[in-house]
Amino acid sequence: MAAPGIAAGQVHFDAFERALDCSQDPCASALPGATSFAPVEGRPWAEGLNAAGDVVGWVTLSTDVVDIKGYSGKPLVTLIGLDTDGVIVGARVVHHSEPILLVGIPEQVLHDFVDLHVGLPANQHVVVGGESEGETIAVDAISGATVTVLAESRTVMETGRFLGEEVEVIARAPRVAGHFIEEGEPLSWAQMLDRGVFGTLRVEQEQMNEAPSPEPFIEIHYTIADSAPVGRALLGDRVWERTRAELAPGEHLVVMFGNGTSSFKGSGFVRGGIFDRVRLEQGVRQVMFADLDYENLGQPVVEDAPRFKEAALFIARDDRLDPGMTYELVFLGSAFTYDGGIEREFHSFRSAHRLPKSVYVLDGPDPESMVWRRAWSLKKGTIALLIGYLLAVIAVFAGRKWSAATVERIQRLHTGFMLVSFLGLGLALSLQPSITQLFTLMDGVTGEWRWGLFLSDPMLFVTWIFIAVTTVFWGRGVFCGWVCPYGTMSELLFKVGRKLKLPDYELPDPVHEKARLVRYVVLFVLVGVFLYSPQTGERMAEVEPFKSTFFVPVWTRHVGLVAWWTVLLAGTFFVWRPFCRYICPLGAALALPSSFRLTSPYRRDFCAKGCRICPRGCEPRAIRKDGTIDHRECLNCWECEATYQDDQKCPPLVQIRRLAEKQAKAAAELAS
């Protein structure tokens, strides 16, 4: 995942950088029958040997093989063992940053899920959820952690498959067919940048422990130049046609243009040697370049290109580079340590790139989008029901002249929708949005934006689209007041308390005004902590009692969380929505943009003249003394809207009704 502030396609650093080390990692548990392990030089795995010294299989860490992110945006680092028959004989998660597992679902549940893959051939087609069909094996999902298990299942199987292909115990899976765009005029440099033709790897001087400088240590623009509009623009017609004609099947043109105080070619390169400063990686496949793979280039032919200090044309050979998938440029930088003037320290930097569709088109489904596509496929019916329900909520608001025609009607509608939200969305579907999803959004904005991550939980994705749209039009009250499972549960329990004739409590106005600011403090503290330490921020987000309510049995939680959950639950019988009004960080986050909502309950000038009818019935205390609505507090119960239309309650309408009745009576008497 990209580091904060670094865009996709630029340098990134992995969250888990430690390589496989069987002295630390539980390799023996991943490869039963192995009594010792021997690293394979230059490869990210180790051989497992039995007592007789025979190879019984291999072990590797998934992060050395594949780049698959979980819901947190970070990989689930998994140790995989593969035997000589190509069967996955062991799998164990050794590190993860999944928030639902950090603070919600017990860790053992994930380990049990991973164990479902043990004993399967590495080239087995596995799906999460559903039923086994033909050659496809289905494994059960974990309720409340769909994205996590989809990513983990793919991690286990793809790691095993790639490892099996590399050690040649299973046949290589056929790639998705694709083709380069051959038609069209050569692109300008600006067009290529705009379309994402280039990957960019930039290393600043400070990253190499050098003095800061406006000039980078290295900046490399790189791409695969087989496509005619790209290759002709960069190399010129003659060079591009010649080099393309010399390519064997499975070979591709790779161009690099570099600036900076360092060189991607390296000063020690000699004929007959290899380029040790740069290489390409794609999964476990590495593409190293030797002298016979290299041709020196001058400046790009296209007129609007910038000037570069060096340029090179490489040939990626042996069918090791799939132009349709994401690949990485790896740069090994070295600098003097200034300890005696001859010692050097080395740092490795990576940049991921994928050719855009305007350059290379797949002729089949995109394997890199399969996780989120599978998630949507698994829940098509439920998604349709959810969308229908949310559209019904929108219909109530869009037609509020009818829905809020009477207090009784809007109260019945409100109670009915709250019941469905609590029982259906909350208890049945565990569909409770959380501040942690806003953390994920923040991480995507400040780091690497990945649509697949946000699409991989379709129910939450649909719900957040609903939240965004309705907050713009009607403020946070649509979600908080009508749809939020925990919020609706709180209000329903308060109503139960009134039926049981329990006492209800309200804070005095001066205390209430200050207490409702606490939720903003909670929000900003969580945001600050998350930016400093995402895992700590996610743990502190347990101030939300959502997981104990809807995701995991409360009795399995830490005693402190149980006590917190119990206090809040008990309080809802006596205080109207105490958590929502005073503590909820998600409510605070949605309240801020609610100040700019496009529509509001209707008001009359009379409302500012001391009328207290609507304020007395406003449970969130959102109506100010001047009769205006505080949009950050309003939860859109619409009872004031119904009163606004009620000629039995609203004083101006009462006067008009009485005058009309008096006139009608006078007219009737005159007529008689």
Rounded average pLDDT per 10-residue block, the chain, 672 residues:
29 51 89 91 89 93 82 83 94 80 66 91 78 67 67 88 89 81 92 94 88 91 96 94 93 96 72 74 76 91 94 91 91 66 67 93 79 76 95 94 89 95 93 86 65 76 94 94 96 95 92 94 93 80 90 83 94 95 95 89 77 82 83 89 82 83 81 76
**Using N-to-C axis directions, what is the helix angle for 237-246 and 228-235, rounded to 10°?**
120
657: helix, strand or coil: helix
CA 549 vs CA 75, 129, 431, 490: distances in Å: 28, 24, 11, 11
Q: What is the pLDDT of residue 370?
A: 64
313 close to 254: Cβ distance less than 8 angstroms: yes
356 close to 195: Cβ distance less than 8 angstroms: yes
Helices (H), 407-484: 407-420, 435-446, 451-455, 458-474, 477-478
Q: What is the pLDDT of residue 485?
A: 96
Three-state helix/strand/coil letters over 160-229? HHHHHHHCCCCCCCCCCCEEECCCCCCCCHHHHHHHCCCEEEEECHHHHCCCCCCCCCEEEEEEECCCHH
| 324-353 core/surface letters (b: 16 or more CB in 10 A; e: else) | bbebbbbbebebeeeeeeeeeeeeebbbbb
Q: What is the pLDDT of residue 391?
A: 97
As a whole number of angstroms, the distance between CA 87 and CA 170 comes to 9
Tokens of 84: 């000589």
Contacts 24+ apart (CB under 8 A), 390-399: 390/462, 390/463, 390/466, 390/483, 392/417, 393/417, 393/466, 393/470, 393/478, 393/482, 393/483, 394/466, 394/470, 394/478, 396/482, 397/470, 397/473, 397/474, 397/478, 397/636
Q: What is the pLDDT of residue 405?
A: 86
pTM above 0.75, yes or no: no
Q: What is the pLDDT of residue 98?
A: 74
Q: What is the pLDDT of residue 89?
A: 94
- Tell me the domain boundaries of the chain: 11-166, 178-364, 379-601
